[in-house]
Structure 1
Amino acid sequence: MSDKSAGQLTFAIPKGRILDEALPVMARAGVVPEDAFHDKSNRSLSFATTKPDMRLIRVRAFDVATFVAHGAAQIGIVGSDVIEEFNYADLYAPVDLDIGHCRLSVAMMADEAEAASNASHLRVATKYPNLTRRHFEAQGIQAECVKLNGAMELAPSLGLARRIVDLVSSGQTLKENGLVETGKIIDISARLIVNRAALKTDPRVGELVSRFREIAQAREAV
């Protein structure tokens, strides 16, 4: 990559479900964190990499998009759910990495599913109010979104909301909490995201995009 005079690149990665799958893909692209990154007791948010002109920041998935969209990080990896929820104008997602697969779905109590009425107004617990409102508006339903950042499955049983919109992989967590999936909003996978201005002004960003694209294409060819 180009010399250090261009400044240090910041690569944002999400805590949680995507990270374990993302690290091998990043390594193939030449993005390798320092050993301290793998220390489970390390609470740092910023880490050096094997490249002197690049550092990693490890933050919440929603914050990955915010850091990249506003140029505080130039490149990152995040789920397409986050991209769709925020729809930042300065965010560009050029590569589907074909990892982190799941879906964003609607769920409700199993014993209420068959008796669900065609209501014109619903209260929905979710971390994705924008996607949720758009989904229900398309069905002619006004969704009152109650923002939760976790423990979504408790909302129906405690009377907070009759439906939830949340990420679903196997569906086991829903089942364990007496919920059933009643509709899918979108399929989700992890994407490489870049700041549009950085892509235009820093050739290192374009080089990384090309590397990740080659890796994704090689996976498709297998």
Structure 2
Amino acid sequence: MRRLLHPPCPPRKARHVPDSQPPSQIIIAVPKGRILAEALPLLARAGVHPEASFSDENSRALRFATNDPAISLIRVRAFDVATFVAHGAAQLGIVGSDVIAEFGYSELYAPVDLGIGHCRLSVAEPAEMAAQDDPRGWSHVRVATKYPHVTAAHFASRGVQAECVKLNGAMELAPTLGLAPRIVDLVSSGRTLLENGLVEVETIMEVTSRLVVNRAAMKTRSRVVPLVEAFRRAVETQEIAA
């Protein structure tokens, strides 16, 4: 029986995408909490104006439109900003240098120091302990912190073995409840430490908020580089005004 030969299929043509199709949306991750108030003026100077509900503390929404249909904002916990951007769920973000150091994501690029969120990552202990203590004599420390990697690396560089107890909040309770005699946490005014009977004994790093970018998005999304430059100009304008 003769087999019927089918003529070869013609080559498939690439589907035409009309020019009117909206571009892929750029998502900027911003942190909840005290940094948000400082970030808003920077966003405005960079030309990004969120919808009114973004500033509503009672709003349960997490994603917000802006004046530019191609840009939206998500409002997440500070520690989560780095993760969203590193994994490409957001293309840009605003996050502290403490978080960048703790996670060490290779996918993150931090091209702009935004000059906001000034604080420090410090070691603190009860005042009565500090009166008789000398950090230069430490060989082993037990600390409560949400920065175990930065903390361990800091003490390792000094030849000190660090036992880190991971906490996500209420750090100041650790010494009084016997969880750990010392803590490593962010310090701004020092008021929280004072009210809980703690004092700073060592500074690990000075902290500011940075603009972070997903490295792949910076190469593939045409809107990302202009946004980075807009933030850079916004910081320069802020410094001149100051």
- State the match for 1:60 in structure 2: 77
CA contact (8 A) 1:33 1:48 kept: yes
- State the match for 1:121 in structure 2: 140
Aligned length: 221
In structure 2, list runs of 5 or more residues that go unmatched: 1-19
Q: Distance in 1 between matches of 2:145 and 2:95?
A: 18
- 1:13-52 matches, within 5 Å, as 13-52=30-69
Q: Distance in 2 between matches of 1:4 and 1:92?
A: 29
Normalised TM-score (structure 1): 0.95
Q: Render the CA deviation track for 1:196-215: whole Å, top value 9, x for unaligned.
A: 11111112110010011112
- State the match for 1:195 in structure 2: 214
SS in 2 for 1:197: helix
- State the match for 1:83 in structure 2: 100
Of 112, 127, 136, 2:155 maps to 136
Letter in structure 1 aligned against 2:34: R
Letter in structure 1 aligned against 2:108: L
SS in 2 for 1:105: strand
Q: Distance in 1 between matches of 2:206 and 2:96?
A: 10
- State the match for 2:180 in structure 1: 161
Normalised TM-score (structure 2): 0.88
Of 116, 126, 131, 1:109 maps to 126
CA contact (8 A) 1:4 1:53 kept: no
User: Please, what is the CA RMSD of the aligned residues?
Assistant: 1.5
Structure 1 vs Structure 2: percent identity of aligned residues? 64
Q: Distance in 2 between matches of 1:146 and 1:134?
A: 15
- State the match for 1:71 in structure 2: 88
Q: Distance in 2 between matches of 1:4 and 1:24?
A: 31
SS in 1 for 2:132: coil
Question: Per-residue deviation at 1:114?
Answer: 2.7
Q: Does 1:209 align with 2:228?
A: yes
Could you say if the C-alpha distance between residues 40 and 221 of structure 1 is closer, same or farther in structure 2, counting changes exceeding 3 Å? closer
Question: Per-residue deviation at 1:162?
Answer: 0.8
